[in-house]
Amino acid sequence: MTFQRARTDEQRSQRRRQILDTAAVMLTEMPVAELTLNALSRRVCLAKANVLRYFESREAVLLELLEAEVADWIAELERETDTVEGTAEERGDRLAALLADSMARRPVLCDLLSSQATVLEHNISTEVAIRHKHTARKSLQNLVALTARHLPELGDEDAAALVESTLLTAIAAWPCSRPPQPLLAAYASDPALAAMRINFTDAVRRTTEVTASGLLARRQPTSEALT
């Protein structure tokens, strides 16, 4: 394919979208660690130097994909949020299940999240880092607001703590729940070893449930003192 430089803002936007869409498809076929700039360039039918006209690095591409994945995830959570009824404990358990199940359905999101601090936030400029962190901050605020709607008893500070705990658990649990083939074979060979395998959904749900219960319990004496 002969390269034709994008000359208008619309053409440049289309070219960026083409690169992002191609990378998104590739992440359904391979983990973040295997998506190289060379592979992306070949798939999108552009020279690597031409891809770098639109994104300063592979990590910049993946950070923008992460932002889009998080935005889609939050939109899904908003659509799936049911009426907030029941005791605080019941609502906390429902929220935990909602977060865990929705993340498990989004392997690309989980893979990008688990690579964010160790890979994606490296090899980028300060300008890209600032833009990314502003976007991430807004997404966190939206997640905290959603959590607070489920559990208004927590207040904004503890709702933020619950979101932080859930995300950190997901980031750690995702790679642990996807062991390489030698470990899969080891688990298959011995039930005692198989019990050590991490179940991503269970780990995220359980941690969120316990954290929510603990945060609610810590606030209980204050609530009683006011009555």
Report how far Cα 68 is from the mean position of its chain's Cα atoms.
Answer: 10
What string of pLDDT tens digits covers the 227 residues of the chain? 444 565 676 878 889 999 999 999 999 999 999 999 999 999 999 999 999 999 999 999 999 999 999 999 999 999 886 666 899 999 999 999 999 999 999 999 999 999 999 999 999 999 999 999 999 999 999 999 999 999 999 999 999 999 999 999 999 999 999 999 999 999 999 989 998 999 999 999 999 999 999 999 998 765 444 44
Q: How many CB atoms lie within 10 A of CB 85?
A: 8
- pLDDT for position 182: 93
Cα 162–chain centre separation: 15
Domain 1-55 sits in CATH at 1.10.10
Evaluate whether the domain defined by 58-225 bears CATH number 1.10.357.10.
yes
- Give the span between the Cα atoms of 86 and 101, in whole angstroms: 20
Domain map (residue ranges) of the chain: 1-55, 58-225
Integer Cα distance of 32 and 35 in angstroms: 5
pLDDT confidence of residue 221:
62
Residue-wise pLDDT for 28-55, tens only, equals: 999 999 999 999 999 999 999 999 999 9
Q: Is the dihedral of CA 111, 132, 75, 91 positive or negative?
A: positive
Angle separating helix axes 155-176 and 107-115, nearest 10 degrees: 100
Task: Locate all alpha helices (DSSP H) within 54-125, ordered by sequence.
Answer: 58-80, 88-104, 107-115
Phi, psi of 60 (to 5 degrees): -65, -40
Q: Give how far Cα 148 sits from Cα of 84, 88, 92, 111, 159, Å.
A: 11, 11, 10, 26, 6
pTM of the model: 0.87
